[in-house]
Amino acid sequence: MVKLARRTGTSPTPIAAPGTAPASRAANRFKLIHVLGIDTATPEGLARTLPFTPSDTTAGAENEYQTAVEGDRHRVDLPLEIENSGFFRNLKKRALRGDTPRSTVSALEAYLSENDTGIWENSWVRLPADALSPYARRVFTEDLRCDKCCADSPRRSDAGRFSFEEGGREVLRIPISYLLKLALADAIDQPATHDTVRETGRSAMDHFLSDNTSPETFSFHPVSMDEAAGMGQGIARETALRFLLSQLLIQYANRQFGLIDGGQRALLYFAPHPPVRQKRLNNLIPDSFYRSLFMSPCLSGWNDGEAKHRYMHLCHTVLSRSQLNAVIKLREAGIVANNLVVLPNTSNVSLANNGTHISLGSRMLTRLMKAPGSGFGALEEKHYGDLAIKIVEHFLPLFVGAYSAAPYRIDFMDFHPERVLGFLPHELDYTHLRMLWRRWKKKAHLKILGRSITPFGPEWLDRNLSRGFMLKGDFVPDFRLIDYLVALMATDESPALDGRPGNDTRLKKDLGELGVFDPCMPLYMLYRARCFQTMGFTGFEGRHYSLFENLDRDMAQAANLQMLVTTLAYKYIFTGRITHADIPDHPFVESERRQIFFGAAAGIPTFYVRADTPNRLLARMVKRTANIRSSRRYAGYTRVRATDFKHTLVTLLQEDAPELIEMNQLRHTIDDLKNRIDDGGGRGVSGRVTRRICEAAGASSPLALSGDEFNAAAESFYRERLKKDQVGQALDGWTRQVRRLDGMSTWRSGHYNQALFSVLGGKDAATLIATLRSAVIAETLPVTALTQLIHLMLLTLDHMKRQSESDLPEV
């Protein structure tokens, strides 16, 4: 067990965990500089030869989408499943006997009947089996096998979930994540489909999957981050086209599979939060029923989908249990001073949130990992990769709210620490947790007659207090990062980033024994290593992104900054400025740097750092920050304003990486970053999205609306206005891309001539997109036009992949 005295963090003295001394070969920096061919003689030479410079970096992205079905409750799968479930029937019987309060049944009936918008988030869809083409039907049949690698494998034991008989006709029940794959299979199963289109479509199907609740897609090919590819513009463009292809497939399925005719319209869009109504439903049903309704059956993407589905059940169970254990930690930390708490639901909805992961790979490091005896192997990859992650984590507050966001409104009635602090008790030391909570309450103005107060529990009492004393609660710029387990804190004996092989396995074992996590699950981190042995390349995955308002404007610059801070980390390492000893692997030190990140997500204006912190990098950053002072409340701590600290981070980038910025054409990225953090962050994504939500709701500010009003308005904005904007942006990017595909140089090569003629019939591709643009955005295209655009998109993606592969050197 971890001792409470250690977790209180009153006077921590970081100590090295037993056996943390790294292998001497891995720590031989001078030898590795020679192996990598890094030129340390001049700043310019260093800028050219470091890993993760634009010429060395490739990028990929994974995106999670929100889905919904629009329709009447008697036609849409989710309300039908609830109403016809054994759980609902038994609940009504128990209410009649008096074993269950009638209010429980009434609340569930109200969920089904009181839906003015007709939007059912994360519902599955129902479609006639005979609407599928022969190839799409074959794909569906193959995906129902237990083992897709075995031709004579029996069907999954749960195969009966996905079809039923109705009126003598077979009807399929599938999640929208799988509908995308079937729509793509159907769209390429046409007599006149060119072989290039068909093969590209079959390859693309593997990139549509889901393991949690929401559909996921990942890059069809690695994208170069060099200047010729536009650096971050390349991965933003590829992401936008995947999103547009997903939109075309949804529209195709709605019409070709008869969904609209059957009273259903499938929707797909970017949204970072679990929907308000889904949270409401989660409070009315048990966790097992929630999983049956919302956890993905994993029909696509895994050879043994049923085993993956069971694994996702485990993840949901573990996170739900972990959330309950977090309440105990709040009591141990003194934040919950008595036993009067509002217990979290035994079913956690955080797996229904949606974000974007941007992965960067190094060609240099990958090439060396592929060459046995190169001098750069698994030990070196781990030793220096862990150190790079620790360095990068110090710069992550720059990203929060500036490039992506998840604005959220919290009412006073919901401002219970056991609710709003989410998984933070597993991510921060008790000292930093208490500091953050005290400052958060101050920011939210939770005071009556000068005394700090939080809700008592009875809703009628808290509502009257809120009205009587004008207690509105709070607004946060990125609640997704608070409401989800994004970065598990290490234990005393098992640091996660000390450079030793297997440290993540040891930490997961410790956390499993504490009831926080399960060793079967991958370790959640803000910036995660992508190891050659498992991924086939060496790099890092940024998992701190929520919603991008504009992929071209926001995601592109975020990718550039992620690349820059990763390169700077390796500059620090190979110039000897930072070693593992400079950032000790102790839970308190880890928590000290991450509190800044989580505070930025909550919008908290200040944080505190120990005046004698052993983290020499953080100490240097704080010392250079303006307006710091000794804390009057916390002896031995320095008070730092978050905005001033962000400006210091920008200054460090300019002073410590000037040659990286100039030689790699990243000046615009720095200027753009300054604009995003100036003016109180109003130019960042959080400020821009919040203003647009308030404008759509007719409100002057988020606090002028209740929590339900603002959050529902946000969902409506994501589903309607923002989706149309992003589809329009993607169409603009696609038009530029097809001009290259349909241009003279491509025609001279002859590779796409026949394929393009089969799709366009001699017409101009850019003109076709312009002609159909308004109908794509309005979702009114007929099946024939949608099929044509899907085929053209597949050719575009294949052309982009070939271009990318021709630009990538052998690794």
- DSSP SS3 for 147: coil
CA atoms within 13 A on the CB side of 218: 14
> What is the phi-psi region of residue 474: left when phi exceeds 0, alpha when psi lies from -120 to 50, beta otherwise?
beta
Q: Is 366 a member of any domain?
A: yes
Residues 608 and 733 in one domain: no
Residues 672 and 753 in one domain: no
611-638 tens-digit pLDDT: 999 999 999 999 999 999 999 999 999 9
**Exposed/middle/buried for residue 150 (C-beta within 10 Å: 0-12, 13-18, 19+):** exposed
E runs forming strands in 573-684: 606-610, 629-630, 637-641
**Exposed/middle/buried for residue 339 (C-beta within 10 Å: 0-12, 13-18, 19+):** exposed
Q: Is 722 a member of any domain?
A: yes
What pLDDT is attached to residue 263?
A: 96
Q: Is 87 a member of any domain?
A: yes
> Cα–Cα distance between 554 and 559 in angstroms, integer?
9
Is residue 312 within 8 Å of residue 386, measured between CB atoms? Answer: no
Is residue 361 within 8 Å of residue 53, measured between CB atoms? Answer: no
DSSP string, 668-699: HHHHHHHHHHSGGGTTSHHHHHHHHHHHHHT-
Structurally, the chain folds into a number of domains equal to: 2
Q: Is 335 a member of any domain?
A: no
Q: Is 465 a member of any domain?
A: yes
Mean per-residue pLDDT, 775-804: 95
Is residue 399 within 8 Å of residue 558, measured between CB atoms? Answer: yes
Asked if residue 24 has pLDDT above 70, the reply is: no
Three-class HEC string of 398-464? HCECCCEEECEEECHHHCCHHHHCCCHHHCCCHHHHHHHHHHHHHHCCCEECCEECCCCCCHHHHHH
Average pLDDT of the chain is 92
Instruction: Please give the single-letter amino acid code of residue 283.
Output: N
> What contacts 490, CB < 8 A, 6 or more positions away?
496, 497, 507, 585, 586, 587, 590
> Cα–Cα distance between 307 and 259 in angstroms, integer?
30
370-418 tens-digit pLDDT: 999 899 999 999 999 999 999 999 999 999 999 999 999 999 989 989 8
569-614 tens-digit pLDDT: 999 999 999 999 999 999 999 999 999 999 999 999 999 999 999 9
Q: Which of 654, 687, 705 corresponds to the end of one domain? A: 705
Residues 424 and 547 in one domain: yes
> Cα–Cα distance between 356 and 340 in angstroms, integer?
37
Residue 636's Cα: distance from chain center in Å? 37
Mean per-residue pLDDT, 493-515: 93
Alpha helix (H) residue ranges in 575-608: 587-602
> Cα–Cα distance between 216 and 218 in angstroms, integer?
7
Residues 493 and 636 in one domain: yes
473-493 tens-digit pLDDT: 999 999 999 999 999 999 999
Produce one character per residue of 156-177: b if its CB has 16 or more CB atoms within 10 Å, e if not. beebeebbeeeeeeebbbbbbb
Neighbouring C-beta atoms of residue 218, cutoff 10 Å: 17
Mean per-residue pLDDT, 181-210: 95
Crossing angle of helices 86-97 and 102-113, rounded to 10°: 140
Is residue 355 within 8 Å of residue 479, measured between CB atoms? Answer: no
Residues 51 and 93 in one domain: no
Kindly indicate the confidence band of residue 25, based on its pLDDT and cuts at 50, 70 and 90: low
CA atoms within 13 A on the CB side of 42: 3
Kindly indicate the confidence band of residue 456, based on its pLDDT and cuts at 50, 70 and 90: confident
Beta bridge partners of residue 265, listed in sequence order: 70
> Cα–Cα distance between 209 and 300 in angstroms, integer?
5
CA atoms within 13 A on the CB side of 572: 25
What pLDDT is attached to residue 346?
A: 82
Q: Which of 650, 680, 705 corresponds to the end of one domain? A: 705
Residues 726 and 699 in one domain: no
Structural domain boundaries, residue 229: 66-269+274-309+714-807
> Cα–Cα distance between 744 and 685 in angstroms, integer?
39
Asked if residue 5 has pLDDT above 80, the reply is: no
Q: Is 397 a member of any domain?
A: yes
Residues 766 and 632 in one domain: no
Instruction: Please give the single-letter amino acid code of residue 180.
Output: L
Kindly indicate the confidence band of residue 667, based on its pLDDT and cuts at 50, 70 and 90: very high
Vertex 445: Cα angle to 440 and 449 (nearest 5): 130
For 68, the enclosing helix (H) or strand (E) is: strand 66-70
Asked if residue 14 has pLDDT above 60, the reply is: no
Q: Is 234 a member of any domain?
A: yes
In 3D space, the residue among 408, 259, 425 whose CA is nearest the CA of residue 335 turns out to be 425
For 568, the enclosing helix (H) or strand (E) is: helix 556-574
Distance of CA 558 to CAs 411, 450, 515, 684, Å? 31, 42, 35, 11
Question: Of 336-350, 490-504, 606-620, where does mean pLDDT reach its minimum?
Answer: 336-350
Residues 550 and 695 in one domain: yes
- DSSP SS3 for 527: strand
Crossing angle of helices 642-656 and 616-623, rounded to 10°: 110
Residues 240 and 380 in one domain: no
Residues 288 and 418 in one domain: no
Beta bridge partners of residue 448, listed in sequence order: 451
For 205, the enclosing helix (H) or strand (E) is: helix 195-205
β-strand 216-218 against 208-209: which pairing, if any? antiparallel
What pLDDT is attached to residue 460?
A: 78
Residues 387 and 430 in one domain: yes
β-strand 527-530 against 223-224: which pairing, if any? unpaired
743-762 tens-digit pLDDT: 877 777 778 899 999 999 99
| pTM value surpassing 0.75 | yes
Is residue 191 within 8 Å of residue 326, measured between CB atoms? Answer: no
Rg, Å, the chain Cα set: 27
Q: What is the largest CA-CA distance in the chain?
A: 84
For 166, the enclosing helix (H) or strand (E) is: strand 163-166
> Cα–Cα distance between 322 and 418 in angstroms, integer?
12
Kindly indicate the confidence band of residue 62, based on its pLDDT and cuts at 50, 70 and 90: very high
pLDDT, greater one: 678 or 114:
114
Is residue 219 within 8 Å of residue 60, measured between CB atoms? Answer: yes
> Cα–Cα distance between 60 and 58 in angstroms, integer?
7
82-128 tens-digit pLDDT: 999 999 999 999 999 999 899 999 999 999 999 999 999 999 999 99
In 3D space, the residue among 448, 482, 475, 476 whose CA is nearest the CA of residue 462 turns out to be 448
- CA quadruple 563, 565, 568, 574: dihedral sign: negative
Provide, rounded to the nearest whole percent, the portion of the chain with pLDDT above 70: 95
> Cα–Cα distance between 187 and 415 in angstroms, integer?
49
What pLDDT is attached to residue 467?
A: 82
> Cα–Cα distance between 438 and 655 in angstroms, integer?
35
> Cα–Cα distance between 602 and 482 in angstroms, integer?
7
> Cα–Cα distance between 133 and 185 in angstroms, integer?
8
Residues 375 and 510 in one domain: yes
Asked if residue 16 has pLDDT above 70, the reply is: no
205-246 tens-digit pLDDT: 999 998 889 999 999 999 999 988 889 999 999 999 999 999
In 3D space, the residue among 555, 540, 569, 580 whose CA is nearest the CA of residue 657 turns out to be 569
Q: Is 373 a member of any domain?
A: yes
Which two structure tokens, joined as six digits, stand for 443? 């920011």
* The residue to which tokens 């992401």 are assigned: 239
What pLDDT is attached to residue 324?
A: 87
Neighbouring C-beta atoms of residue 329, cutoff 10 Å: 21
Mean per-residue pLDDT, 194-207: 96
Q: Which of 653, 679, 705 corresponds to the end of one domain? A: 705
